[in-house]
Chains A and B, each alone.
Chain A
Amino acid sequence: MRFDRIEEKLEILADAAKYDVSCSSSGSKRSNKNKGLGNSDGMGICHSYTPDGRCVSLLKILLTNHCIFDCAYCVTRRSNDIKRAAFKVQEVVDLTINFYRRNYIEGLFLSSGIFKNADFTMERLIQVAKKLRLEENFNGYIHLKSIPGASDELMREAGLYADRLSVNIEIPTVSGLKKLAPEKDHSDFIKPMKKVKNEIIQYNSEKKLIKSTPKYAPAGQSTQMIVGASGESDREIMLSANYYYKNYNMKRVYYSGYVPISNDPRLPSLGSQVPMLRENRLYQTDWLMRFYGFDVNELLNQQFPNLDVEVDPKLSWALRNQHQFPVDVNSAEKEMLLRIPGVGLKSVHKILQARKFRKLNYDHLKAIGVALNRARYFIICDGRGWEKQDLSASRIKSLILRNSAGKFRKEYSSQLSLF
């Protein structure tokens, strides 16, 4: 290995890959067979954290940052005057194995600029994964990027070696995409996504009959959308996310606050702030849709196209829907408990358990972990009437904000606890 050359490439190609926020290594189970190297136990480990507070779990790099396209929001775009580099297939294999053996990483996340054409690029990515699996007997985690426009045959092959596949939609709306990446066709993104979805469905049904069916992308597929690059509303973003969850069985949709990288007049200028709080609110909305039984239209609609940055989206919904409250924590259905501001999934579970034994009061709820500073205006429980009395929504909001000002203003990261 020529270490100095590799170092230079690594610097360029890790830097170019860092805008992809997904670093998850969970959701896949691969055991170590025949004294091979590594395993994935489904949990995923963060081996380190960058100073921006993000988990480092995978070696996340581009195979190359040469690209024939010119998407305005991307550092790798053809017209950008930057250093270019390309790894050889074997170099990526060696780096992955050597990092893995030292317990630096859980595996590899390989993406790429598009050189020559989609299939040529996709094929190279597959070569890396194939070598790792077949030659190195590597059972660690592999996440490959599906290159927009790649053929069905290649997408089929990719899933045989990768744990996860992802195509980044990046721009949530078709019109935004037209503006910022005019050479790209929306249907090119959909094509590999559709193929991967169908393969996963087929794998799941075949596996029931034949146990030895080779694994196909066991950690599923994900996508990412850039937030705040093309002026779309929160509603447009979440409608789009909802569409991909429903129609392509996405495991995850990631939201990435746009980090300004150019002076293109179509985009926020250099030096503008990364919209991290907005990003966090979108993640919260995502969770409400996936785990709390909310329909996207309840949280965002024509009347409320954008999330309230001051309070979390559940509280914001509750303030608009006061006729649904108070909820009696000692008798309400699970579905309604989930809708109380300040009550998370774990608390709901604990409430359901605990109320079998006794009627719960404020002290019990506090011990369970309910955030009473928010919940109190929306519940009744043992020994306490309804705190709200006849307070207006805006009054409740200001009372809550006053009691939690520090917390709400400072915590900007999506990785902090969400509710």
Chain B
Amino acid sequence: MNSPKCLLYDGTFKGLLTCIFVAFDEKLEVNNILAPGIHKTDIFAENIEVITDETKAKRVWHGFQKFANHRSQNAVYYAYLSELPKIELDILRYFQHTFKSKANIHGDFTNKHVLKIAQTAKKVGREKHRMEAFVRFQLTKDKIYFANIEPDFNVLPLIEKHFTSRYSDQQWIIYDLKRKFGLYYDLQKAQIIQINFSKNLSLSEEKTRIFDTSEIEFQKLWKKYFEATTIESRINTRLHIQHVPKRYWRYLSEKNPLHK
């Protein structure tokens, strides 16, 4: 039967690669690839559940690496982390196009999938840099530097390297509130963790309980510094918002009233 198929996978990159393997292996006509929790819209397509398989994933990736250079490989991974609807299908088409042309296709922007992947990867890359700049750690009583983030895309896996090499002598956690997982660096390596936050986390008593007594003082100092370093006669709000989009402001201590 040759009706279009909808592949269901577990949301991991390996899972997606397994889907791509299966699509090739069984010569399927795929019109959708869906991660868990996403509603299917096309009721005519047949669902196939794909079980993530390390070996299959590796084979597809190695095959891809034969033609795709570093940049294309990155682009695909970055695009995957965007979690945009239907991006999986663009990735599948990108692989198909690569295998068919037996060449690196990164610059082939007349192909709409290639263009989409490149544009998406660029957006994800931009947010990666922003997060490296805008993460604000707060010191807890257990001497862990803790930061919350809520990025548009799933950039936590991308910023791990930057933070482990920069802050290799302090314990830290960067927690993605939106995706409910974080990275914990224990002075040796970073690992994925999940935390059940108490509901009262935003209350100031709770904060006093968790954070080091000096924490609020350093935030105050930073805020003071930030105010003192501005030259009033040069204020330029439009330029300012262009550099720091408003949706990031809630995580920047210098832009917020201090708790307490």
Contacts and interface: CB of A to CB of B under 8 A. Distances in A.
**Genuine A/B complex:** yes
Nearest to A37: B169
Given A48-B244, A51-B240, A95-B221, A274 B233 contact: yes
Contact of B234 (A11, A59, A276): A276
Given A10-B228, A51-B235, A137-B169, A102 B139 contact: yes
B27 interface: no
Interface of B: 129, 132-139, 145, 147, 165-170, 187, 214, 217-218, 220-222, 224-237, 239-240, 243-244, 252, 254
B166 A32 contact: yes
A363 to B, nearest CB: 14
A50 B230 contact: yes
A24 to B, nearest CB: 15
Interface stretch (A309-317, A322-330, A369-377, A408-416): A408-416
Contacts of A416: 239
Looking at chain A's contact residues, is the secondary structure mostly helix, strand, loop, or mixed? loop
A364 B147 CA distance: 46
25 contacts: A3-B221, A7-B221, A10-B221, A10-B225, A11-B224, A15-B229, A18-B228, A18-B230, A18-B231, A31-B165, A48-B133, A48-B226, A49-B243, A50-B240, A51-B236, A52-B230, A52-B235, A53-B239, A99-B218, A101-B137, A102-B139, A103-B167, A104-B136, A259-B234, A273-B233
Contacts of A276: 234
B236 A412 contact: yes
Interface of A: 1, 3, 6-7, 10-12, 14-15, 17-19, 31-32, 35-39, 45-56, 59-61, 95, 98-99, 101-104, 137, 259, 273-274, 276, 412-413, 415-416
A273 to B, nearest CB: 8
A56 B225 CA distance: 10
A45 B170 contact: no
Scoring B129, B222, B229 by chain A CB atoms within 10 A of each residue's CB, the highest score goes to B229
A15 B222 contact: no
B166 A38 contact: yes
A49 B244 contact: yes
Looking at chain B's contact residues, is the secondary structure mostly helix, strand, loop, or mixed? helix
Contacts of A274: 231, 233-234
Contacts of B252: 48
A273 B229 CA distance: 19
Given A17-B229, A19-B231, A52-B236, 6 more contacts: A3-B220, A39-B165, A53-B239, A103-B147, A273-B233, A416-B239
Given A1-B214, A3-B220, A45-B133, A53 B228 contact: no
Contacts of B233: 259, 273-274
Contacts of A56: 226, 229
Nearest to B168: A35
Contacts of A35: 168-169, 187
Contacts of B234: 52-54, 259, 274, 276
Given A10-B224, A51-B230, A413 B133 contact: no
Contacts of B147: 103
B239 A413 contact: yes
Given A7-B220, A32-B165, A37-B167, A53 B240 contact: yes
A415 B168 contact: no
Given A48-B252, A415-B239, A6 B229 contact: no
Given A3-B220, A102-B138, A104-B136, A51 B168 contact: no
A104 B222 contact: yes
